[in-house]
Amino acid sequence: MTEAILFDLDDTLVVEEPAAAAAFLATAHVAARRYPVDPAELARTARTRARDLWRAGPAHAYGEDTIGMSSWEALWCRWEGDTAEVRACREWAAGYRAQAWRAALAEHHIVDPALAELLGERFGIERRLRHEAFADARPALDALRRTHALALVTNGASCLQREKLAGCGLTETDFDAVVISGDLGTAKPDAAIFAHALDRLGVTAADAVMVGDSFERDIRGAHAAGIRGIWLNRDGAQPAPEPNGHLEIAALTELAPLIRGSTSG
């Protein structure tokens, strides 16, 4: 019987990638008001240059390989914390924010270091204006909260994931356990982070399900930990991967009836 539900955060409960894309574009518009540059082009370039710098930089090994962060999240993360890894990321990211925009502007033949600094800070402001939970997130949590133990299992820096949660009007008390890769030093799809969540809830893998939008991290990862996956494929946008015992839903409104239906008999 399903006793516990583990939820992914980014692009499952809260809008993440589209919010980042919109923040890149809004930030590029600031430059386009000063220079003849297409904001959509500049936004695309900034995103690419940010990714290149992130991959080549010293924060990547910890930020992406260990805790599963993306290059664009690193652009607005405050990197709060006192571990050596987080401190190193914080120091590096201070320059990374402007450097990404400086490189992007240069590709469009604009040399303006002051503007790059401004855009580097502006991106964080624009992203923070775009905290948004999916409309079906709160009703799904409320419907299941009464009958099931709930955990959040998310990849990313601890401060950033908590900031997203609070910014979107969800709270840590909506969950019986909040499990963040940045707090653990291990990320999805590693089975260890799922095992940690089960431990915190006091349930076995057979009694839990994992709900998430990433087939690789959430569904394959959960499967490796012995947990059935419920793949959130919003609007059927992604092609069907190989079967691995998972269920598929197109919206979180399907979740409570699915869980009740699959455990009632």
**Which pairs from 201-208 meet CB under 8 Å and 24+ separation?**
201/4, 201/149, 201/151, 201/176, 201/177, 202/149, 203/3, 203/4, 203/149, 207/1, 207/2, 207/3, 207/4, 208/2, 208/3, 208/4, 208/5, 208/6
DSSP three-state, residue 204: coil
- Shortest reach from residue 12's CB to Mg ion, in Å: 5
CA distance linking residue 114 with residue 105, whole number of Å:
11
User: Which residue, 8 or 73, is less far from Mg ion as judged by CB?
Assistant: 8
User: Which residue, 11 or 254, is less far from Mg ion as judged by CB?
Assistant: 11
- Shortest reach from residue 264's CB to Mg ion, in Å: 29
Q: Which two tokens stand for residue 238?
A: 């992604």
- Shortest reach from residue 212's CB to Mg ion, in Å: 5
User: Which residue, 53 or 180, is less far from Mg ion as judged by CB?
Assistant: 180
User: Which residue, 27 or 214, is less far from Mg ion as judged by CB?
Assistant: 214
User: Which residue, 122 or 220, is less far from Mg ion as judged by CB?
Assistant: 220
How far is the first Cα of the chain from the last one, in angstroms, to the nearest whole number? Answer: 9
- Shortest reach from residue 213's CB to Mg ion, in Å: 4
| Unique residue bearing structure tokens 């914390």 | 81
Return left, alpha or beta for 11; rule: phi > 0 is left, psi -120 to 50 is alpha, else beta: left
Edge-to-edge strand ranges of the sheet holding 4-7: 177-180, 149-154, 4-7, 208-212, 228-232, 247-249
User: Which residue, 8 or 176, is less far from Mg ion as judged by CB?
Assistant: 8
- Shortest reach from residue 135's CB to Mg ion, in Å: 17
For Mg ion, the binding residues (CB under 5 A) are 8, 10-12, 213-214
- Partnered with residue 160 across adjacent β-strands are none
Residue nearest Mg ion by beta-carbon distance: 10
- Shortest reach from residue 165's CB to Mg ion, in Å: 13
User: Which residue, 11 or 132, is less far from Mg ion as judged by CB?
Assistant: 11
What 8-state DSSP symbol labels residue 91? H
- Shortest reach from residue 119's CB to Mg ion, in Å: 27
Whether the ω angle into residue 239 lies within 30 degrees of 0, i.e. cis, is: no
Torsional sign, CA 39, 42, 46, 48: positive
